[in-house]
Amino acid sequence: MEPFSGGSIAMLNDIITATENGATSVAGGGDTVALLTKKQMTHKVSHVSTGGGASLELVEGKELPGVAALSDIEAFL
């Protein structure tokens, strides 16, 4: 919502600056992706994911079944 977007845009600008200075940035979730798209800045972060809930679980250290399956080379043989 535009009247409340100031904080999100300020944070986005800080994340972009950090990325430009070598940090790895991951944007996750539908609202975050919508903001990046609206501001035409998706190319300024390292990775964009529509999986907000999965992104949070990954940061929490939980195992993601899809990632675990991809990590198991025997599953592909």
Per-residue pLDDT, 15 = 94
Q: Has residue 75 got a pLDDT over 80? A: no
Give me the domain span that covers residue 9.
2-76
CA 49 to chain CA mean position, Å: 5
Per-residue pLDDT, 28 = 82
Provide the whole-model pTM. Answer: 0.67
- Tell me how many domains the chain contains: 1
pLDDT digits (tens, 9 = 90+) for 45-54: 998 888 888 8
Residues 68 and 71: their CA atoms lie apart, in Å, by 5
Confidence of residue 77 (pLDDT cuts 50, 70, 90): low
